[in-house]
């Protein structure tokens, strides 16, 4: 039997009411309400960008679905500077109405959102790629900082996770959440060793059965190695990681190419593709991560 001391748990996962200190990170277009429910039931924190509901009414339908299918925690991500201010206010009001337990902010000053969240006891995480922004967000009162390292899926930073996580840990007083290139239980163990309180995993869950990514996208992730990931600002103006074969220059020229849509047809994934070898359900992925974590722990040198 696993003794409590050996359980995969941290002060932050305990505070949030999670079974494991793992978040399935928000992914534009492809995260959905079914993932939020499956994650919640598997004991991890499912996260979805508010804009995955194309309108506030569509976001509300997703929140209602989650509330009808689970009473466990989940999170909604609001990209402050990339969202129309009126839409942001509508999304915040829905997060209040549906009592979303964790709000994740990025790309802007989280101060007004933190004030609003804390009046209701809601937890706020803020996403950063460097210490300067982390310090500002900590001063704004956020409850934890997500450090997005080099190699992460989506808009990634430039600092190696080996440097970023301990650097944030040493310089901040709030908990640190590690993001970037974490796809296995062994990497979860390493992240906790570096000082993380929670891990934030996107690329690993692209291949989950519940994820809205197309079959072609999922099989490209399974087949890809880290050499197939390109860090570029040419797709959206902000540096992010994409699968090389989905970039316009890698596709045969043709009239359809003019219609390629960012994130929908040009697929983002991080260097963590290296360790993704198959598709599975969220429940199976979580079981595997936990098993790998314990095996890695048992295999450490004395």
Ligand X SMILES: Cc1cc2nc3c(=O)[nH]c(=O)nc-3n(C[C@H](O)[C@H](O)[C@H](O)COP(=O)(O)O)c2cc1C
Name the site residues for ligand X (rule: CB under 6 A).
25-28, 30, 49, 77, 79, 106, 127, 148, 152-154, 179-182, 200-204, 268-270, 272
As beta bridge partners, residue 154 has 241
Q: How far is the CB of 105 from ligand X (least distance, A)?
A: 9
Pairing status of strand 102-106 against strand 74-79: parallel
Name the residue nearer to ligand X (CB basis): 167 or 242: 242
Name the residue nearer to ligand X (CB basis): 101 or 151: 151
Using CB atoms within 10 A of its CB, is residue 273 exposed (0-12), middle (13-18) or buried (19+)?
Answer: buried
Q: How many CB atoms lie within 10 A of CB 13?
A: 23
Name the residue nearer to ligand X (CB basis): 2 or 181: 181
- Contact (CB, 8 A) for 211 and 232: no
Place of tokens 């934890």: 144
| C-alpha to C-alpha distance for 60 and 225, rounded to whole angstroms | 37
φ/ψ of residue 134, rounded to 5: -65, -40
Q: How far is the CB of 146 from ligand X (least distance, A)?
A: 7
Q: How far is the CB of 104 from ligand X (least distance, A)?
A: 7
Q: How far is the CB of 18 from ligand X (least distance, A)?
A: 17
| C-alpha to C-alpha distance for 224 and 245, rounded to whole angstroms | 9
Q: How far is the CB of 302 from ligand X (least distance, A)?
A: 31
What 3-state class would DSSP assign to 33? helix
């Amino acid at each position: 039997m696993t003794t409590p001391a050996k359980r995969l748990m941290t002060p932050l996962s305990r505070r949030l009411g999670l079974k494991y200190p793992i978040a399935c990170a928000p992914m534009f277009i492809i995260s959905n309400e079914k993932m939020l429910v499956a994650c919640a039931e598997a004991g991890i924190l499912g996260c979805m960008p508010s804009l995955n509901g194309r309108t506030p009414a569509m976001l509300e339908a997703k929140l209602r679905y989650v509330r009808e299918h689970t009473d466990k925690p989940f999170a909604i991500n609001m990209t402050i500077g990339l969202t129309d201010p009126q839409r942001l206010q509508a999304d915040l009001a829905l997060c209040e109405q549906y009592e979303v337990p964790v709000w994740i902010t990025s790309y802007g000053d989280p101060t007004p959102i933190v004030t609003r969240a804390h009046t209701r006891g809601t937890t706020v995480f803020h996403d950063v790629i460097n210490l300067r922004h982390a310090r500002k967000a900590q001063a704004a009162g956020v409850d934890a900082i997500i450090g997005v390292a080099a190699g992460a899926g989506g808009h990634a930073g430039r600092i190696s996770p080996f440097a970023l996580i301990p650097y944030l840990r040493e310089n901040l007083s709030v908990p640190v959440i590690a993001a970037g290139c974490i796809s296995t239980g062994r990497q979860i163990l390493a992240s906790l060793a570096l000082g993380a309180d929670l891990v934030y995993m996107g690329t690993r869950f692209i291949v989950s059965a519940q994820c809205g990514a197309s079959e072609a996208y999922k099989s490209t992730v399974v087949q890809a190695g880290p050499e197939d990931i390109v860090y570029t600002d040419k797709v959206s103006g902000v540096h992010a990681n994409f699968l090389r074969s989905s970039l316009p220059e890698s596709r045969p020229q043709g009239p359809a190419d003019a219609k390629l849509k960012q994130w929908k047809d040009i697929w983002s994934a991080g260097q963590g593709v290296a360790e993704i070898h198959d598709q599975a359900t969220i429940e199976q992925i979580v079981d595997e991560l936990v098993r790998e974590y314990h095996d890695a722990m048992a295999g450490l040198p004395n």
